[in-house]
Chain A
Amino acid sequence: MEVKDANSALLSNYEVFQLLTDLKEQRKESGKNKHSSGQQNLNTITYETLKYISKTPCRHQSPEIVREFLTAMKSHKLTKAEKLQLLNHRPMTAVEIQLMVEESEERLTEEQIEALLHTVTSILPAGPEAEQKKNTDDVTMDEEDPA
């Protein structure tokens, strides 16, 4: 076993989610040899990783959304690692942006941080909890109306 390149490319959580979901579908179709002892490790790691990524906002992304996000990010001049973190975490506050972007106080003004937040929240779809919260907010607003 030889490692030719230990860092040949960075993968976003969405890409890994897509890959594992496709792998799961393929194996479900082929059926019989999933439960042999050799495949148990693959089953475990696939299940746990899918469970983890499903709880993040990445599960609602698509290749078009990612492409749109990267084109929008071009103007902000961020490094690849910073763009990847923004894509994986979908920060909603300025504090989170300061964590992910190195030396953000020197590189970005407050308006630029606001613009960045706006781009992130408008292009990337929200995670499952944020959608739930949005639904409960809508429900409470309806309840207030008759009063």
Chain B
Amino acid sequence: MFVLVEMVDTVRIPPWQFERKLNDSIAEELNKKLANKVMYNVGLCICLFDITKLEDAYVFPGDGASHTKVHFRYVVFHPFLDEILIGKIKGCSPEGVHVSLGFFDDILIPPESLQQPAKFDEAEQVWVWEYETEEGAHDLYMDTGEEIRFRVVDESFVDTSPTGPSSAEAMSSSEELPKKEAPYTLVGSISEPGLGLLSWWTSS
């Protein structure tokens, strides 16, 4: 689920923090910059793992702060393809089942990846697995708050960096609200034996 990513960056320490140990200031600045943020094509950054190398700190003319090039490793949430994860159902919509891990919310299981046959109950707004046995069909509901085991089948990164002024003008005239896109989404699947709500597969 979590990977270590090696990165290099220049960290600016303002003069009023010079009394603190350099390592602590740098760790704080890196966490301030990256924690809980999604890096394009990397994943959701969690926290700093360690600092591997500090190069010389320079002070540039006009700016009293010191600039240090830092080589460090960061803990990033980036599940690999086909990894099995356990999350909680956040809700259901016609687009599929939305799952959340607490610290990461944008996971969708599209209708075609649900255990088949599945149907969407409009009245209760839940997806239902119509499980057939010899006795008849059981309707297994995918209720909100239930724990669900799923496989990661796809991921997509969207670059949400701000666009330039010219396109911003065009957007404000055509739409009232810019569409908020999640920078990192996962697509899951529960169409295999063992996947789906944990309660479906536990033998008591």
Seen from chain A, the residues whose Cβ lies within 8 Å of a Cβ on chain B are 1-13, 15-16, 19-20, 23, 33, 38-39, 41-42, 44-46, 48-49, 51-52, 56, 81, 85, 88-89, 93, 95-96, 98-100, 102
CA A99 – CA B1 in complex, angstroms? 16
Of all chain A residues, which has the CB nearest B103?
A48
Please indicate the chain B residues that have their CB under 8 angstroms from the CB of A4 in the complex: 6-8, 71
State which of B79-87, B117-125, B168-176 sits at the interface with chain A.
B79-87
**Are A42 and B36 in contact, CB atoms less than 8 angstroms apart?**
yes
Please indicate the chain A residues that have their CB under 8 angstroms from the CB of B6 in the complex: 3-5, 8
A49-B83 in contact given A2-B9, A42-B31 (Cβ < 8 Å)? no
State which of B37-45, B59-67, B135-143, B177-185 sits at the interface with chain A.
B37-45
CA A51 – CA B36 in complex, angstroms? 15
**Are B102 and A48 in contact, CB atoms less than 8 angstroms apart?**
yes
**Are B193 and A95 in contact, CB atoms less than 8 angstroms apart?**
yes
Please indicate the chain A residues that have their CB under 8 angstroms from the CB of B36 in the complex: 41-42, 44-45
Given contacts A13-B2, A45-B35, A49-B103, could you give 8 more A-B pairs where the C-beta distance is less than 8 Å? A9-B4, A10-B3, A19-B47, A49-B77, A56-B86, A93-B194, A93-B201, A99-B151
A89-B84 in contact given A11-B4, A44-B36, A95-B194 (Cβ < 8 Å)? yes
A8-B194 in contact given A85-B83, A89-B84 (Cβ < 8 Å)? no
Scan B29-56; emit 1 where CB is below 8 A from any A CB, else 0: 0011001110101100011010000000
Residue in A4, A6, A44, A48 whose Cβ sees the most chain B Cβ within 10 Å? A6
- 25 A-B pairs within 8 Å (CB atoms) are namely A3-B6, A3-B42, A4-B8, A7-B3, A7-B5, A9-B4, A10-B3, A16-B46, A16-B75, A19-B49, A20-B46, A39-B32, A41-B36, A42-B35, A45-B36, A46-B47, A48-B103, A49-B46, A51-B103, A81-B80, A95-B201, A98-B193, A99-B149, A99-B151, A99-B194
Please indicate the chain A residues that have their CB under 8 angstroms from the CB of B8 in the complex: 1-2, 4
CA A95 – CA B190 in complex, angstroms? 13
Please indicate the chain A residues that have their CB under 8 angstroms from the CB of B84 in the complex: 85, 89, 99-100
Please indicate the chain B residues that have their CB under 8 angstroms from the CB of A45 in the complex: 35-36, 46-47, 103
CA A93 – CA B201 in complex, angstroms? 9
Give the top 10 A-B pairs by smallest Cβ distance, nearest first.
Answer: A48-B103, A41-B36, A45-B36, A95-B194, A42-B35, A38-B32, A9-B4, A11-B2, A52-B102, A4-B6
